[in-house]
Each structure stands twice: as C-alpha cells, then as structure tokens.
Amino acid sequence: MTRIGVVTFPGSLDDRDAARAVRLAGGEPVALWHGDDDLHGVDAVVLPGGFSYGDYLRCGAIARFAPVMSTLVDAARGGLPVLGICNGFQILCETHLLPGALTRNDSLHFICRDQRLRIESTDSAWTADYQVGDEIVIPLKNGEGGFVADESTLDALEGEGRVVARYLEVNPNGSRRDIAGIRNERGNVVGLMPHPEHAVELLTGPSADGLPFFTSILRSLVGAA
C-alpha cells in the first residue's frame, strides 16, 4: 500500500485529520516525528495544519529548522511529493520550496468558514483527480493566510500555471490575486491554505470535495511505480 507520511511538530493540530484523509483515500498514513530526520521510506509527505512551535517568531519559521525538514527539503527537491496545508503551506514558504509568504488576515481576525474554491491547475501530484475549473467547498481556518509575493513572482506563478486553487465569492484573508494554493515548477510540492482533510466525509465536513487531493497523490504514485 502506498505510504504517506504525516509530520507531527510540537503544536501540529490537524495531523490526525490528515492521517484519516489518507486512510479514507486508500493509502497508509505513517506518523513522522519532527525530531527524527528519517522519512522511513514514505512515498509522499503531508505537512498538516496547526501552530507548530506556537507560531512563535513567525508562522513556520521555527519548524523549518526541525530535523525532519532538512531531510524533507532535499527529498522534495528530488521529486518527493509534499502537500503543505495551512501551517504546512507556511512552512513550505519558509523553506523556500514555494515562493511568497503568508501574512495576517486583512480582517485581523482568525476566520473559520466553508470556502468556495476553483481548481486552477491539475498539473500537480496532488490535484490530478480534479478538472480545471472544478468548484469545491472545503473549510478554511486561519489567522495568517493572506498569500503575498512580489508582482513578478505573482505573474510568474500565473503565467506558468502554478496557481493550484483560487478563492471564489469571498477572498477571506486578503490573498493577492485570490490565491488559495500554489505548486512548485515540478508540481510535486503543493501548498494550500484551506483544509481538504476536513472535507473527506459528508458527516463531518461541508462536503467530501477535499478527498481528491488525497486520491490524486495515490493515483500518481501508483502510475509512477
């Protein structure tokens, strides 16, 4: 079975949810520990949401120095699929696996809402099971989710089709160009501010629209094997 690692940092909150999503998609979740630089042979990694290291200094700024990250950054540069959700997205930006940064919501409030998104790119390991233009509703919950980058970076992200998802109807946090998620050039690393792992069961989520993030990676790994 395809093994997907889920990293727990001190202060990670959605690690159990990410593991559940992997399981419901048909994969085997593997718990990875921040202090262990061994990835235990996993086929892909999810950096879950939460407040790693209490968000001290700056969201994700301390997590990037965790032992697990040194290995993970190299592996990601070598093509290992990595999905960073919320705090995980912040960590990916801090490690420069993805460009830009996440800043305080323009409302200055933490916000939790069912957010409508449009899938903009299926050209990544984590979004292949969607169609471009799909509209999905998944939870968004963050205090510092405003995506910012300089204009040339934003132009490049858009020009190269590296915007993975955009906010529809409401831009909840002041993200530039309504960007909710992006990918790296190769498409193996994706950062997403909303939470697909909270939308994998109709019983507990606003929809099951988040599940394809997790089935996408399983399918792309099986295809590659």
Binding site for other proteins (CB under 8 A): 10-11, 13-14, 16-17, 20, 49-51, 53-56, 109-113, 139, 141, 143, 195, 197-198, 200-201, 203-205
If the CB atoms of residues 47 and 98 are measured against other proteins, the closer one turns out to be: 47
Query: Minimal distance in Å, beta carbon 224 to other proteins?
Result: 29
- Report how far apart, in Å, the C-alpha atoms of 90 and of each of 85, 86, 95, 103, 139 are: 8, 6, 9, 9, 17
40: left (phi over 0), alpha (psi -120 to 50) or beta: left
Query: Minimal distance in Å, beta carbon 32 to other proteins?
Result: 14
Token couple for 180: 């909710």
Query: Minimal distance in Å, beta carbon 178 to other proteins?
Result: 19
If the CB atoms of residues 17 and 94 are measured against other proteins, the closer one turns out to be: 17
Active site residue 198: no
If the CB atoms of residues 94 and 197 are measured against other proteins, the closer one turns out to be: 197
Residue with tokens 């979004």: 127
If the CB atoms of residues 149 and 200 are measured against other proteins, the closer one turns out to be: 200
Catalytic residue among 59, 86, 94, 120: 86
Active site residue 197: yes
Query: Minimal distance in Å, beta carbon 136 to other proteins?
Result: 15
Q: Are 105 and 111 within 8 A, CB to CB? A: yes
Query: Minimal distance in Å, beta carbon 55 to other proteins?
Result: 8
Euclidean distance between the first and final Cα of the chain, in Å? 12
Q: Which residues, including other chains, have CB under 8 Å from residue 191's CB and lie 6 or more apart?
A: 83, 84, 88, 89, 92, 93, 98, 181, 182, 183
Q: How far apart are CA 190 and CA 216, in angstroms?
A: 12
If the CB atoms of residues 187 and 194 are measured against other proteins, the closer one turns out to be: 194
Catalytic residue among 120, 144, 197, 198: 197
Active site residue 112: no
Helix (H) or strand (E) holding 135: strand 135-142
Q: How far apart are CA 82 and CA 125, in angstroms?
A: 9
Q: What is the widest separation between alpha-carbon atoms in the chain?
A: 45
Q: Any idea which residues carry the catalytic annotation?
A: 86, 195, 197
